[in-house]
Amino acid sequence: MASFDVMPDIQLYQPVELDDALSLAERYGDGGWVLGGGQDTYGWLKDRAKNPQAMIDLSGIDSLRGIRTTDDGIEIGATTTLREIIRDERINRDFSLLAQAAGRVASPQIRNVGTLGGNLSQDTRCWYYRRGLACYRAGGNLCYADGPESMNREHAVLGASRCVAVSPSDTATAMVALEAMMVVASASGVRSIAAEDFFVGPATHITQMTALEPGEILTAVRIPSKWAGQRFYFEKVADRDVWDFALVSIAVAMRLEGDSIAESRFVCGGVACTPHRLKNVESAARGNSLSEASADAIAPLASAGAIPLNYNHFKLPLMENLVRRAMRG
């Protein structure tokens, strides 16, 4: 009988070239676990909730790390640490929304080693799923969080389809707001995916949180210059200031013309299976000023269409209040 006090036997690969990592990812497919900082990996393995054949450690691949200026913005390597992002002068000058979001991930110790790619690609935190129960997301035929006696305080109020687990990534909301592009590589080539399409809900794929296919690796994120230096707002509400995941968060990018909002992106975290754009809020905000009156008029739209579960009705007024705070200027 296997002991749960030790890590399971697993093949470890530590390539130093991206091509080697891609070959390994292609060889193992679903059986390969791509490792960034590893902060979310070892619990899965020790608890036997995931049982990959091989671990592909990307930390030795220099080309996957660093922040580079491009012809139209910046490119951030997938294994760049959250701490590097928080401290980068260009990001703080042009895309401070991302620095703010990265600064609210977990704790300083985790941000020191946690990577951008790992934070974006992490699996959901639903405790039923993480206990190893055969729920929909694990390939079963039941959602344990969506029942009359389920504990679902942290689960979705929007966009659920069988599974009601939410996306846990703090940086994901900022990436969607900034219209980032995800660079995904495989042995067959490279493709780019808009951040908004990179995260997938259960109606698209019940057992995945992202559009990554077996054998693919997220190698970089490109942020276009469109939103550089514009007005940003980020706020995360959690039970504790450190370590915890968002109950509700909001990432906002706004372009002003004079005192009026010409264009905006409002993205909520913690409320849906993916980062959730508040498109009705964006439409209503266009042409309005940042003021108490505009905030009060537009904020109620944030929770339109939400269907709360037994224990998360509080998320609706919380979404509205976060929009209100962003709109107050």
Residue 124 lies in a domain: no
Residue 159 lies in a domain: no
Count of CB atoms situated within 10 Å of the CB of 229 = 11
Mean pLDDT of 119-128: 95
CB 96 within 8 A of CB 228: no
Mean pLDDT of 250-273: 98
Residue 46: domain span? 11-60
Residue 142 lies in a domain: no
User: Binning pLDDT at 50, 70 and 90, where does residue 49 land?
Assistant: confident
Instruction: Please give the mean pLDDT across all residues of the chain.
Output: 95
Mean pLDDT of 71-83: 98
| 183 to 210, 225, 231: CA distances (angstroms) | 13, 17, 26
Mean pLDDT of 35-50: 84
Residue 15 lies in a domain: yes
User: Binning pLDDT at 50, 70 and 90, where does residue 5 land?
Assistant: low
Q: How many domains does the chain have?
A: 1
| 218 to 43, 192, 194: CA distances (angstroms) | 22, 10, 12
Output the domain CATH number for residue 35. Answer: 3.30.43.10
pLDDT digits 0-9 by tens, 179-235: 999 999 999 999 999 999 999 999 999 999 999 999 999 999 999 999 999 999 999
Residue 314 lies in a domain: no
Q: How far apart are CA 233 and CA 323, in angstroms?
A: 10
Q: Mapping DSSP to helix (H, G, I), strand (E, B) and coil, where does residue 279 land?
A: helix
Contacts of 201-208 with C-beta under 8 Å, sequence gap 24+, read 201/159, 201/161, 201/272, 201/273, 201/274, 202/136, 202/137, 202/160, 202/161, 202/162, 202/163, 202/273, 203/159, 203/161, 206/136, 206/137, 206/161, 206/162, 206/163, 207/137, 207/138, 207/139
Count of CB atoms situated within 10 Å of the CB of 68 = 13
pLDDT digits 0-9 by tens, 287-311: 999 999 999 999 999 999 999 999 9
Is the per-residue pLDDT at 1 higher than 50? Answer: no
- Side-chain-side CA neighbours of residue 276 (13 Å): 27
Residue 37 lies in a domain: yes
User: Binning pLDDT at 50, 70 and 90, where does residue 4 land?
Assistant: low
Q: Can you count the helices (H) and strands (E) in the chain?
A: 13, 12
* Tokens at 227, concatenated: 């939103």
Residue 16 lies in a domain: yes
* Tokens at 232, concatenated: 């940003």
Task: Give pLDDT, residue 73.
Answer: 98
CB 282 within 8 A of CB 317: no
The side-by-side arrangement of strands in the sheet containing 260-269 is: 231-237, 248-257, 260-269, 276-277
pLDDT digits 0-9 by tens, 159-183: 999 999 999 999 999 999 999 999 9
Is the per-residue pLDDT at 282 higher than 80? Answer: yes
Mean pLDDT of 95-111: 97
